[in-house]
């Protein structure tokens, strides 16, 4: 019962996605909505995976400084990896979340110099923070104030002067005396002078236009004149005039009129006071943020002085009573039952009802974190095309701490921490840039084609394994079968065993003799097909079937006779079917040329058609050509026909220029 009871101030887990880790939040308020649901106003805390790589580097340097200053005991690489999952970053960002999304409690504490980091790993659901993250400004700042100790901050107290010893210090740099308790005036005379000073202050406010607007009534002006600023001015006047009442009276009312003294409470307008109350509701007593976001035209000293004067007013007392009444009406705690619904990422075992992510997973896959092969339950993890999964314990660790127990390259241990991903823990370009030797055993990483350019960068151990374990790896056989899985763990283990026993002499490298570039270019030019050139002076007859083509085309073939296309009894066959005789119909619509997207275009492959290929194309009808294109895997058995080429018929030269818009008359 107590474990499912959540109160204001508790640190809890919130689930916003079935595949992403939990959100760590602190409950500030529990409000009941109009439809009866409970919403929690929470403070956001961020993980390392939620901030940028530059801020992660800043957090790493802060962690190193903390370890050096506090003299932390040494930890292993795996413990250091898990400590990054226990570190959070506090923020001043608030949000409202449904209380039904709460998945449990956790503990978050401010990191102290006396704490030992390894103790956080021994406790479940325990986190720490030392920096504050600003989601808007993208900055990390220290949360606790610095203790200013040293000669720069503490005053050096001189020795006490002996009796009769003169003070040789510069009195102008010393503090100025503003009141002498051994003055000749009595307390009654001082009180009478203070009453006169208040009366002068009230009269001065009556003469001032701005003050008469702010304090329209007499008692309001008298109350403003009775504030501490008027009393301080009166006592300072007595000190400067040597406690002579006559001189002090004349100083209060000089020749130009009475002296008006106003404090911050009178200087601030009503709108500025409302802004201050709104800022105080949002930031509390953080006067730097109040000045930066709400009152940038006010000085910090003015804001602090106004705050302590504002606490003496009735406005502060009224707001304090309203807050107390609202706190009594709000919920103090809420009971959330344990969440028992199955996770959609749960992999259904073979033989049971298939689930959402249970279908399509290969047998024999290991856990991405602990590499175990046995678990009571498995969960799909990462992008679907990666076919990754976690065991039950590693899945709970992933949901609570936002990472894997052991550093793997899939999670990003070998690279800098990336920006937060909304669709998964790893993007496709990052997954494609991983080496095949760093994946789990018995798994083939079949990745989809990516349009972006990427680089496969191997580690030193991978390059050594290729040479030391060629008998196990069989690179030539693996290159022919890229889809077959490679047991990377076994190869790396065998390489680690063979590496100390290997000979210390460097491996022999057989240099490959390559031909010079000029020789290669000459061979390519000699093998390239020559493009037939059309003589410029010859006139080419125009075929009627090609009237729709562009007039700018060069050599157009002569119209063929019917006997040429009929085949004269020769049985041609395309794709195992008899070839229908006849001329290609000119009424067939011309095929539209599709424009390919440059990003979708495959690697450039050029097919050079020969004369025989062109003759075979001409022997096929349009229908047979389309059938052959639909079934390119079937052989096309066509014997080249005997084509009788009619000598070209020369046409009379046109009398009009080529650029004219008049129709062209064709004579057959």
Q: Are residues 11 and 137 in the same domain?
A: yes
Alpha-carbon span 440 to 493, nearest angstrom:
13
Question: 276 and 254: one domain?
Answer: no
Residue 656 lies in a domain: no
Same domain, residue pair 254 and 272: no
Query: Furthest-apart CA pair in the chain: how many Å?
Result: 145
pLDDT of 127 reads 95
Q: Which helix (H) or strand (E) holds 523?
A: helix 517-527
508, with CB counted inside 10 A (0-12, 13-18, 19+), is exposed
Q: In terms of domains, do 12 and 138 share one? A: yes
Domain limit, last residue, from 262, 292, 318: 262
26, 108 in Cβ contact below 8 A? yes
Residue 616: pLDDT band by 50, 70, 90 thresholds?
Answer: confident
Residues 246 and 132 placed together within one structural domain of the fold: no
Are 36 and 77 part of one and the same domain?
yes
Same domain assignment for residues 387 and 468: no
Helix (H, G, I), strand (E, B) or coil at 335: strand
Tell me, yes or no, whether 281 lies in a domain. yes
DSSP letter, residue 553: -
Co-location of 13 and 133 in the same domain: yes
Residue 258 lies in a domain: yes
Confidence of residue 399 (pLDDT cuts 50, 70, 90): very high
Residue of 585, 564, 559, 590 lying closest to 666 (CA atoms) = 559
467 within a domain of the structure (yes/no): yes
> Could you give phi then psi for residue 24, rounded to 5 degrees?
-100, 125
Q: What is the pLDDT of residues 85-125, one digit of tens each?
A: 999 999 989 999 999 999 999 999 988 888 888 889 999 99
Considering the domain boundaries, does residue 377 fall inside one?
Answer: yes
Q: Is 486 part of a structural domain of the chain?
A: yes
| Whether residue 303 sits in one domain with residue 231 | no
Q: Which residue has the higher pLDDT, 303 or 510?
A: 303
pLDDT score, position 558: 46
Kindly state whether residues 32 and 125 are assigned to the same domain: yes
List the one residue out of 407, 413, 397, 417 whose CA is nearest residue 79: 407
Q: Report the number of distinct structural domains present in the chain.
A: 5
Q: Residues 274, 308: one domain?
A: yes
**In this predicted structure, which of 68-72, 121-125, 242-246, 550-554 has the lowest mean pLDDT?**
550-554
Q: State percent of the chain over pLDDT 70.
A: 69
The dihedral formed by the CA atoms of 180, 181, 182 and 184, expressed in degrees to the nearest 10 = 80
Question: Are residue 10 and residue 85 in the same domain, yes or no?
Answer: yes
Give the residue among 117, 121, 110 at the shortest CA–CA distance from 143.
Answer: 110
Residue 84 within a domain: yes
Alpha-carbon span 70 to 114, nearest angstrom: 7
Report pLDDT for 366.
85
Range of the structural domain that residue 257 is part of:
187-262
Which among 204, 232, 262 is the end of a domain?
A: 262
User: What CATH number has the domain bearing residue 195?
Assistant: 4.10.1240.50
CATH number at residue 85: 2.30.30.490
Q: How confident is the model at residue 13 (pLDDT cuts 50, 70, 90)?
A: very high
Average pLDDT, the chain: 75
pLDDT tens digits, 350-388 = 554 444 444 445 556 788 888 888 888 899 988 887 788
CATH number of the domain at 387, please. Answer: 3.30.50
In a domain, 198, yes or no: yes
Buried b (16+ CB within 10 A) or exposed e, 424-449: bbbebebbbebbbbbbbbbbebeeee
**How would you class 131 by CB atoms within 10 Å of its CB: exposed for 0-12, middle for 13-18, buried for 19 or more?**
buried
């Amino acid at each position: 019962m107590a474990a499912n009871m959540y109160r204001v101030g508790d640190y809890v887990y919130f689930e916003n996605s079935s595949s992403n880790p939990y959100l760590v939040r602190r409950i500030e308020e529990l409000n009941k909505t109009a439809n009866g649901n409970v919403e929690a106003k929470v403070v956001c805390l961020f993980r390392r995976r939620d901030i940028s790589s530059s801020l992660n580097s800043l957090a790493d340097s802060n962690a190193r400084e903390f370890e050096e200053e506090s003299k932390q005991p040494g930890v292993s690489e795996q413990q250091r990896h898990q400590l990054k999952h226990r570190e959070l970053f506090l923020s001043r960002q608030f949000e409202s979340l449904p209380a039904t999304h709460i998945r449990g409690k956790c503990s978050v504490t401010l990191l102290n110099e006396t704490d030992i980091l390894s103790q956080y790993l021994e406790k479940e659901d325990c986190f720490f923070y030392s920096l504050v993250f600003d989601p808007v400004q993208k900055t990390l700042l220290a949360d606790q104030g610095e203790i200013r100790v040293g000669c720069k901050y503490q005053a050096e107290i001189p020795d006490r002067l002996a009796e009769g010893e003169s003070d040789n210090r510069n009195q102008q740099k010393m503090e100025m005396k503003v009141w002498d308790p051994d003055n000749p005036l009595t307390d009654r005379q001082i009180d009478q002078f203070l009453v006169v000073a208040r009366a002068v202050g009230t009269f001065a406010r009556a003469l001032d236009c701005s003050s008469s607007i702010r304090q329209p009534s007499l008692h309001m002006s008298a109350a403003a004149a009775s504030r501490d600023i008027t009393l301080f001015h009166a006592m300072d006047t007595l000190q400067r005039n040597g406690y002579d009442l006559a001189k002090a009276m004349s100083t209060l009312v000089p020749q130009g009129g009475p002296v008006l003294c106003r404090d911050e409470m009178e200087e601030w307008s009503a709108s500025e006071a409302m802004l201050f109350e709104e800022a105080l509701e949002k930031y509390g007593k953080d006067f730097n943020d109040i000045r930066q976001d709400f009152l940038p035209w006010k000085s910090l000293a003015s804001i602090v002085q106004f705050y302590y004067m504002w606490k003496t007013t009735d406005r502060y007392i009224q707001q304090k009573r309203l807050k107390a009444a609202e706190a009594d009406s709000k919920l103090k705690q809420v009971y959330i039952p344990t969440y028992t619904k199955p996770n959609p990422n749960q992999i259904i075992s073979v033989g049971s009802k298939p689930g959402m992510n249970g279908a399509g997973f290969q047998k024999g896959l290991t856990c991405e974190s602990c590499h175990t092969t046995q678990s009571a339950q498995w969960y799909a993890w990462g992008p679907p095309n990666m076919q990754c999964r976690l065991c039950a314990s590693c899945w709970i660790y992933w949901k609570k701490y936002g990472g894997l127990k052991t550093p793997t390259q899939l999670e990003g241990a070998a690279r800098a921490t990336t920006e937060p991903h909304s669709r998964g823990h790893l993007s496709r370009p990052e997954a494609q840039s991983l080496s095949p030797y760093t994946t789990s055993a018995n798994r083939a990483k079949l990745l989809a084609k990516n349009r972006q350019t990427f680089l496969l960068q191997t580690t030193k151990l991978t390059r050594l394994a290729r040479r030391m374990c060629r008998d196990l790896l069989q690179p030539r056989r693996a290159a022919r079968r890229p889809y077959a899985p490679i047991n990377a763990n076994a190869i790396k283990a065998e390489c680690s065993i063979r590496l100390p026993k290997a000979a210390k002499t460097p491996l022999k490298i057989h240099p490959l003799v390559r031909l010079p570039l000029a020789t290669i270019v000459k061979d390519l030019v000699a093998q390239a097909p020559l493009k037939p050139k059309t003589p410029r002076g010859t006139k080419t007859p125009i075929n009627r079937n090609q009237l729709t083509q562009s007039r700018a085309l060069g050599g157009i073939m002569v119209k063929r006779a019917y006997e040429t296309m009929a085949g004269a009894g020769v049985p041609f066959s395309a794709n195992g079917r008899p070839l229908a005789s006849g001329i290609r119909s000119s009424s067939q619509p011309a095929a539209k040329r599709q424009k390919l997207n440059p990003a979708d275009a495959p690697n450039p492959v050029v097919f050079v058609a020969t004369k025989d290929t062109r003759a075979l194309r001409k022997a096929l009808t349009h229908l047979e050509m389309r059938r052959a294109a639909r079934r390119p895997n079937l052989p096309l058995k066509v014997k080249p026909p005997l084509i009788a080429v009619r000598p070209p018929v020369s046409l009379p030269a046109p009398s009009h220029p080529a650029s004219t818009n008049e129709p062209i008359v064709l004579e057959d």
